[in-house]
């Protein structure tokens, strides 16, 4: 058991000689299995408890001197109970104060008292501490050394923090502000319960109030700053195409940087179950697939930056300079754009106001537990919507798939359609649209338009939106050629009537997956005319690396 995992025995006594003696005797018997901490004032004792609480440590036993000038032992133990209610408590007292100590056992729930001096400890100290430890171990504090998030149930910023941590595979515990443990954590961080939320407590005991994505990423150990200014290959986007490119690039010896604005995995990373990906006959969740790919990329030496937004790209001689939102730049010999696509916003009254408070884009699997026994609505008719319907059917009372088109066969894989038909609590409503979302603090109802034009208001606490996809390529508008929808043109699509793309400087045609800027390749869903499937995106990433190698060899 590591030092951080061992429960704590804390003693507080304002007499230094007594304080040292208590700690000495406790360490002699319990030092192997417990951390022994001593404090010589009540204030330092409470500060130690607050620090331990923020770091997720467990406190098993607290011993406090009955008579201390700043605060009595009884008052100290009362305050300690607010921070560690499950810790066992005892007073160290002189014989003359025995009656007061006994009264304290009944008044403030003190477990025991110990007379000073306690020699020999084998007879007078250890039996009492043994009893308290045994009592504690019957119902110990939960070891919560991971990141902790305190927030409101229907708060968009709280949801965004939880979603960011979950999608970046950062373990965390969620506490609603109404929970007693949330209030204890705020107290330990010296924050008022009315403080701005969410509050994020990191494993090292730091407390962040309403952090930005970049602040959160740095606090939980995600890399946010590049290690150097020059790379062989920079991959922009951490979905399947970007992760595939990173794995193949790094494994083939290229110094590779992967830049992701939010979390690795992209839309595929949010999929609850992918069942048609080669090599996984029983299916695999998007999160599991993403985590394996990320670990594989790192194993080969890929450097991954999270919460870094690429805002500019330009050529400078043989280099390709990528600019970030914070003003920093890196130079690459080759670049692969793999930024994927994002779900389109559902435009209807009330939707924007309730986003993050019952209305979500993508699977938002952090909300699954909250859907227990509820009626869930999913908007969309492609595979992502179908996978979400299957997932939420396991926890929700009912799942209704709202499809704008006339048939699922036009947009969804056959295996998913058959799966949905076999699930009793899933209903599919074709040619149906959402015209309004209703609610105060959170989503309460939806107005639906049926095929015959009639409207119906239905009760709903959760709506997950999967409608269409649009590329996020505005930052490349004057850099590479795009089609009318913003997808990036590549290869032969750039050559029109035998004419090279505008500004093309080379005496060869653009290679497959190469954009109108030589040395900049495109992989995955952001590429014009791409096949919107995970396998094809990974293939694009591998092929783009092969072409990048060819480009480096010819440069």
- Residue 9 gets the label, from left (phi > 0), alpha (psi -120 to 50) or beta, of beta
pLDDT in tens, 494-515: 987 778 888 899 989 999 999 9
At 1 the pLDDT is 60
Is residue 223 within 8 A of residue 215, CB to CB? The reply is no
Q: How many CB atoms lie within 10 A of CB 441?
A: 12
pLDDT in tens, 374-395: 999 999 999 989 999 999 999 9
- Checking if the pLDDT of 527 tops 90, the result is yes
Is residue 363 within 8 A of residue 465, CB to CB? The reply is no
- Checking if the pLDDT of 441 tops 60, the result is yes
- Checking if the pLDDT of 101 tops 70, the result is no
pLDDT in tens, 10-29: 999 999 999 999 999 999 99
Strands 319-324 and 207-209, bridge-based pairing: unpaired
Alpha helix (H) residue ranges in 347-394 = 351-354, 383-392
Share of the chain above pLDDT 90, in %: 67
Which positions ≥6 away from 500 have C-beta within 8 Å? 494, 509, 510
At 482 the pLDDT is 95
In the chain the domains, ranked by start, together with CATH numbers, are: 3-138 (3.40.50.2300), 147-219 (3.40.30.10), 230-342+470-554 (3.50.50.60), 352-465 (3.50.50.60)
At 397 the pLDDT is 94
Mean pLDDT over residues 425-445, rounded?
A: 96
At 266 the pLDDT is 80
Cis peptide before 6 (omega within 30 of 0): no
Mean pLDDT over residues 266-278, rounded?
A: 78
Indicate the DSSP class of residue 346. Answer: P
At 108 the pLDDT is 64
pLDDT in tens, 63-89: 999 888 888 888 899 889 888 988 999
pTM assigned to the model: 0.80
């Amino acid at each position: 058991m590591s030092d951080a995992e061992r429960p704590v025995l804390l003693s507080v006594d304002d007499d230094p000689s007594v304080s040292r003696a208590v700690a000495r005797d406790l360490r002699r018997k319990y030092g192997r299995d417990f951390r022994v901490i001593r404090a010589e004032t009540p204030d330092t004792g409470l500060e130690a408890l607050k620090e331990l609480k923020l770091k997720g440590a467990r406190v098993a036993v607290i011993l406090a001197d009955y008579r201390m000038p700043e605060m009595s032992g009884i008052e100290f133990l009362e305050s300690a109970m607010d921070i560690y209610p499950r810790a066992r408590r005892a007073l160290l007292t002189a014989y003359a104060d025995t009656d007061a100590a006994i009264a304290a056992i009944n008044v403030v729930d003190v477990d025991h008292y110990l007379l000073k001096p306690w020699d020999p400890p084998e007879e007078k100290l250890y039996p009492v501490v043994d009893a308290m430890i045994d009592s504690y171990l019957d119902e110990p504090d939960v070891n919560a050394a991971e990141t902790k998030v305190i927030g409101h149930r229907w708060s968009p910023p709280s949801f965004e923090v939880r979603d960011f941590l979950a999608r970046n595979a950062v373990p965390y515990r969620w506490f609603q502000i109404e929970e007693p443990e949330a209030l204890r954590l705020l107290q330990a961080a010296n924050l008022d319960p009315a403080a701005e939320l969410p509050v994020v407590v990191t494993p090292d005991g730091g407390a962040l109030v309403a952090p930005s994505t970049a602040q959160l990423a740095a606090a939980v150990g995600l890399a946010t700053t590049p290690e150097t200014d020059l790379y062989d290959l920079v991959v922009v986007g951490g979905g399947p195409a970007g992760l595939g490119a990173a794995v193949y690039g790094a494994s083939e010896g290229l110094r590779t940087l992967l830049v992701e604005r939010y979390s690795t995995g992209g839309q595929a990373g949010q999929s609850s179950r992918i069942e048609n990906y080669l090599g996984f006959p029983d299916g695999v969740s998007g999160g599991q697939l993403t985590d394996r790919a990320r670990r594989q990329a790192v194993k080969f030496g890929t450097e991954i930056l999270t919460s870094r937004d690429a805002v500019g790209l330009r050529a400078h001689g043989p280099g390709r300079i990528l600019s970030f939102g914070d003003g920093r730049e890196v130079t690459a010999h080759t670049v692969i754009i793999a930024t994927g696509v994002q779900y389109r916003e559902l435009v209807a009254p009330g939707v924007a106001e309730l986003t993050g408070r019952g209305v979500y884009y993508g699977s938002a699997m952090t909300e699954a537990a909250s859907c227990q026994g509820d009626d869930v609505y999913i908007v969309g008719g492609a595979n992502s919507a179908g996978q979400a319907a299957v997932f939420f059917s396991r926890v929700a009372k009912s799942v209704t798939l709202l499809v704008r088109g006339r048939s699922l066969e036009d947009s969804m894989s056959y295996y998913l359609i058959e799966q949905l038909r076999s699930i009793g609590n899933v209903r599919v409503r074709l040619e149906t649209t959402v015209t309004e979302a209703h609610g105060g603090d959170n989503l309460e109802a939806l107005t639906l338009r049926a095929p015959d034009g009639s409207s119906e208001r239905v009760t709903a606490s959760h709506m997950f939106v999967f409608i269409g996809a649009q590329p996020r390529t505005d930052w490349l508008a004057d850099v590479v050629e795009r089609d009318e929808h913003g997808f990036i043109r590549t290869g032969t699509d750039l050559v029109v009537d035998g004419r090279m793309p505008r500004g093309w400087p080379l005496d060869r045609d653009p290679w497959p997956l190469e954009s109108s800027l030589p040395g900049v390749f495109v992989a995955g869903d952001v590429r014009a005319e791409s096949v919107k499937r995970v396998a094809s995106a990974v293939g694009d990433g591998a092929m783009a690396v092969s072409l990048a190698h060819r480009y480096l060899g010819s440069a």
